[in-house]
Amino acid sequence: MNYADRLENVAVLGAAGKMGSGIVLLTAMEMADLKLEAGAVAKDYVLQAIDVSPKGLSGLIQYLRDQVLRAAEKKAVGLRKAYEGRQDLVENEDIVNQYVEDVLSVVRPTTKIEAAYDAGIVFEAVSENPELKVKLLSQIKANNTKNALFLTNTSSIPISELNDKVKLDGRIIGFHFYNPPAVQKLVEIIRAEATVPDLADFATQFAKKLRKTVVPSHDVAGFIGNGHFMRDALHGIAEAEKLAADMTLADAVYVVNKVSQDFLIRPMGIFQLIDYVGVDVCQYILKVMNDRMPGAKLHSALLDRVAALGVLGGQFADGSQKDGFLKYGKGRPTGVFNPDKKAYVPVAEIAARRDEKLGPQPAQAKPWKQVISLADKAAFLDGYFNELREMTTPGAELARTYGRRSKDIGLGLVKDRVAARDEDVNTVLLTGFYHAYGPINHYFD
């Protein structure tokens, strides 16, 4: 079966969620594009957008309309050529609107899982819960009429485990989009030992058609992305807990977050990143990994404590951050959570106590957003970290410790054969996490 035939009938589970909605968007646009390319002999492509929430599915349609409109406006010239046989489409506005309708016409929103029974491809993007995934995939497998291929968006659960529990005989592969799928360029593709070659070929072709950067990961819980992030987060949490012997925990969280963002030139400090993903989500991913790695000790009592207080972080529907370890105002941290008092301490108050003691960044420091755009980024980073190595301030020392640990984590992923190469680890952190440099580097030798 060729690539276009595979996509004739697709189901997306969890279609109204943050990840699922992006997968629906990208897949529906790819279907519409294939239909335009085929012209008069085009297939009738169908995408079953399945979710338990009727309200969520209603929001999905509006999201798709808005996003496809933006995409169509950007490629209006190409669309004019695609629709050149349509005499009724004269103005760019007509062409753009027609494309929006063509994409939306592919999508069938539904709350019924039975809609997946005739799908040839099933994308699974439900919550990171092994039992739920197994239950849903098993139901579809038992009733599916097309011997479907399954692509799971899991970020941590071994693919071989899902394959064995659902008895899919290799008809499953990990296809881990990064959040949000429509924007993020990275896809981790994870083959189980049993994954059939046809599925691996389709997954790779699909990712390339979506213009994604593909990194293969070996089938080890957490894969490359969470394999690094979770350990990096645990290091940051441990550093904060050590500092809390001489200051409040809120102050310590502020210090580690500032160092991991500003001194290490990252888009977010580690505690803001934990909030972005979700305290409870990080907690759950760690459990998934820890349960499958005897002796790994991938657990944080602090995460458990904060989550038990209902401080969960995560994101609102518009992508803005919910309060977690940090409180947010206009997209910026404005407070730090004190679990003892169950209240937020203003960032300005902590900064007045801690910034001077941390010491300055290297004199040539620039914000992350400027650094990633530098034409001579490599030269800048060499100079910046050369200067950081010579500094003896508490902030510089914390940054060096953090950078060395990040590198050790990356090297460990290669040593343990989660990643095939140093470059794969670096690509995931550069592309999926928007770091300015990969963790495996010479800056912290």
Has residue 440 been placed in a domain?
Answer: no
- Residues 81, 212, single domain; the answer is yes
Q: Are residues 171 and 97 in the same domain?
A: yes
The model's pLDDT over 253-280, given as tens digits with 9 standing for 90+, comes to 999 999 999 999 999 999 999 999 999 9
On whether both 277 and 130 belong to a single domain, the answer is no
- Within-domain flag for 47: yes
CATH value at residue 46: 3.40.50.720
Same domain, 26 and 163: yes
Structure confidence at residue 435 (pLDDT): 98
- Per-residue pLDDT tens for 225-252? 999 999 999 999 999 999 999 999 999 9
Burial 53-69 (b: 16+ CB within 10 A, else e): eeebbeebbebbeebbe
Tell which of 183, 201, 217 closes a domain. Answer: 217
Q: Is residue 441 in some structural domain?
A: no
Contact of 179 with 152, CB cutoff 8 Å:
no
Residues 142 and 9 in one domain: yes
In a shared domain, residues 193 and 57: yes
CATH code for position 240: 1.10.1040.10
Determine if the pTM surpasses 0.75.
Answer: yes
- Domain shared by 340 and 230, yes or no: yes
Instruction: Report pLDDT digits (tens) over 103-144.
Output: 999 999 999 999 999 999 999 999 999 999 999 999 999 999
| Domain boundary, last residue among 156, 185, 217 | 217
DSSP string, 239-270: HHHHHTTTS-HHHHHHHHHHIIIIITT-SS-H
Answer yes or no: is 293 within a domain: yes
Q: Does 357 lie in the same domain as 338?
A: yes
User: Is residue 75 in a domain?
Assistant: yes
Q: Are residues 209 and 250 in the same domain?
A: no
Residue 308 belongs to some domain of the structure? yes
The set of residues, in sequence order, having a beta carbon less than 8 Å from that of 136 and lying 6+ positions away, is: 13, 113, 124, 126
Question: What pLDDT sits at residue 112?
Answer: 98
| Whole-number pLDDT of residue 183 | 93
Total domain count for the chain? 2
Regions of the chain with pLDDT less than 70: 40-41
Position 443 in a domain:
no
**Are residues 265 and 158 located together in one domain of the fold?**
no
Q: Which domain holds residue 273?
A: 225-432
The answer on 150 and 133 residing in a single domain is: yes
The confidence score (pLDDT) of residue 383 equals 98
The answer to whether residues 329 and 392 belong to one domain is: yes
Determine, yes or no, domain membership for 444: no
Burial of 377 (0-12, 13-18, 19+ CB in 10 A): middle
pLDDT of residue 41: 66
Q: Are 95 and 80 in contact (CB under 8 A)?
A: yes
Q: Which of 190, 217, 244 is the last residue of a domain?
A: 217
